[in-house]
Every structure is written in structure tokens, then in C-alpha cells.
Amino acid sequence: MIERTVTIVNRKGLHTRPAATLVKTAARYQAELTIRKDNFEINGKSIIGVMTLAAEQGSTLTLHFDGPDEEQACQAMEDLFRRGFDEE
């Protein structure tokens, strides 16, 4: 299991387009992805779950990866968050 903390850097936060990109990226891997914001935890492969986070710019999320390709999934997600979902 891998755990990473990421921060939302894009101005509009985790709205529909970046949420969909996050879910599509997570779906490419076998590893399970759980995302926690404050005390709320969701399945990172669920668009509804990701949208319920209401994560605005500056929000800190904790990502948990568990599965055979967890390292690759973690690297892809960290890159996605670092790039601001290519919105900047």
C-alpha cells in the first residue's frame, strides 16, 4: 500500500473535467485508489465519489493505492495533480 498527500493547484479546483480525468487515469490501473479529504473517504474510481469531495484550489487530499501496479498508479496521479490537470 502506498499513501501520498497532494494539493489541488488548479484555480477551479476538482470540478467536472479534472474529476473525469482523475477517474479515467485511475481506471487504467488495477490498483485500488481511495481518496481522503478531511475525514471523508471515497473510491477514486467513482466520478460521483470524486465530485462529492468538493475540493477547491489549495485543498489537500490523501491518496491511498493498493494493488499490483500501485507504484505506477501513484506516479501517474502525482503527475496529474502536479500539472494541475493541464488547466494552467
- Order of strands, sheet of 2-7, starting from the edge strand that comes earlier in the sequence: 2-7, 60-66, 32-37, 40-43
Active-site entry in 15, 32, 49, 78 = 15
The string of DSSP codes covering 12-35 is T-S-HHHHHHHHHHHHTSSSEEEE
- Residue 15 known to be catalytic: yes
Distance in Å from the first CA to the final CA of the chain: 31
Cell numbers for 83, please give them.
Answer: 500539472
Residues serving a catalytic function are 15
